[in-house]
Structure 1
């Protein structure tokens, strides 16, 4: 599943871009458009919302799986929860961006964009910092995976700063190109978790009765094994 997420999301985002060009919702002779501009008008706005909702749900699921993997690797609860909530805020921001178009709810849309881009890259920086601090953490995959993540995170951060600065300087086309590249790099960073999850063959869900249950609790929680 994780290997397919970047491919599906990037393909559908470029589909949204293509539809916007074909429907003349954007004019490339006037400059390269922001991602949000391509998703402002129907029918591409419908695809844009669906793509980002799918991406948000997938990102949230990846963050939750990563949380339990780090817990099993011995990461303490509070830093692990901080990382988890950072990732979930990124997923929430992605959904907000998709459902609150820039032309209709600009302030809400920009809030979602901040969560998706800036909090999103913070999530991956925290992952890198954790790997650096805890030398005993497993490092699945080839030795170059870690340096690759560092390069991608650094590129994302630089491009995000450039995106904001160039927009303030009214260099909208260059700023928009930075935005598209950042989005693609974030998809790749999420996709790289496939390396960490390559050793997973399933997970266990523990179902426990609530405090208001009329039935007496069993001796042990009921476990359900789910194949990934």
Structure 2
């Protein structure tokens, strides 16, 4: 039964990687994003047509395949004798992650930012929880016979840890002042900046408009 299903995660990975880079390339070519202002999030690239259509299709297809993988994995663990509430919890976290991925693709940041962020929370945070739950299940099953090499569990641990670190890094990068800090400048006081003034620096913040305000001196 499982002979060909191992191709699903491989297909999902290739589909997502190709789709994201295609959306990014189109956004750069048609000028939707400007790389001189910094490297944009994929959500920004996918907010403008025509790449927004591709972005939505890529994530919808990816969400469907991800849900399929979660269901197959759940049934696989049941066949191996794992009939615990943890297996069901893992399944539901995976399905919520898939739903969030679809929401991210259908509600672009430019038009529905709150909904987009909720979908991103489901996709990334709940999705990361799914990975850790799968790792926990694999450690619970280590006394039972199952296919796979012994190095798979340490590899899962490494990938889960890396994924968690990258999520934390992406959240920190989104905080106010983070991009100013990385550019090597101090965050300007809005009351000390003339309206519409741009930073005369190179790098990620070149040409960035500062918040309008009045001089306090």
- Under TM normalisation by the shorter chain, which class is it? 0.7 to 0.9
Counterpart position of 2:55: 48
Q: Give the drift of 1:174.
A: 10
Among 142, 149, 153, which residue is 1:142 paired with?
A: 149
Hey, what does 1:15 align to over in structure 2?
22
Provide the C-alpha distance between the structure 2 equivalents of 1:120 and 1:173, rounded to a whole number of angstroms.
Answer: 30
Match of 1:154 in 2: 161
Aligned to 1:37: 44
Aligned match of 1:178: none
Distance 1:137 1:116, change over 3 A: farther
TM-score under structure 2 normalisation? 0.76
Residue equivalent to 1:226: none
1:21/1:27 contact within 8 Å kept = yes
Structure holding more strand per residue: 1
Q: 1:76 to 1:113 in 2, by over 3 A?
A: same
Counterpart Cα distance in 1 of 2:119 and 2:180: 21
Question: Counterparts of 2:177 and 2:61 in 1: how far apart (Å)?
Answer: 32
Counterpart in the other structure of 1:102: 109
Residue number in structure 1 paired with 2:81: 74
CA–CA distance in structure 2, aligned partners of residues 82 and 150 of structure 1:
19
Where does residue 121 of structure 2 map in the other structure?
114
Root-mean-square deviation (CA, aligned residues, Å) is 1.8
Distance 1:29 1:117 in 2: 27
Deviation at 1:58, TM superposition (A): 0.2
Corresponding residue pairs, total: 175
Aligned residue for 1:123?
Answer: 130
RCO higher in structure (CA 8 A, sep ≥6): 1
Match of 1:85 in 2: 92
Paired residues of 2:87 and 2:137 also in contact (CA < 8 A): no
Kept in 2: contact 1:86–1:120 (CA 8 A): yes
Change (3 A) 1:55 1:127: same
Q: Where do 5+ consecutive residues of structure 1 fail to align? A: 176-228
Residues 24, 94 of structure 1: CA spacing in aligned structure 2 closer, same or farther, 3 A cutoff?
same
Greater shift in the superposed pair: 100-109 or 3-12: 3-12
Query: TM-score, structure 1 length as denominator?
Result: 0.73
Q: Secondary structure at the match of 1:168?
A: coil
The alpha carbon displacement at 1:107 in A equals 0.6
Pairing 1:5–2:5 present: no
- Report the alpha carbon displacement of residue 165 of structure 1 after superposing the two structures with TM: 1.7
Q: Work out which of the two has the higher radius of gyration on C-alpha atoms and give 1 or 2.
A: 2
SS in 1 for 2:27: helix
| Distance in 2 (alpha carbons) for counterparts of 1:167 and 1:55 | 25
CA distance in 2, matches of 1:96, 1:146: 31
Judging by fraction of residues, say which structure has more helix: 1
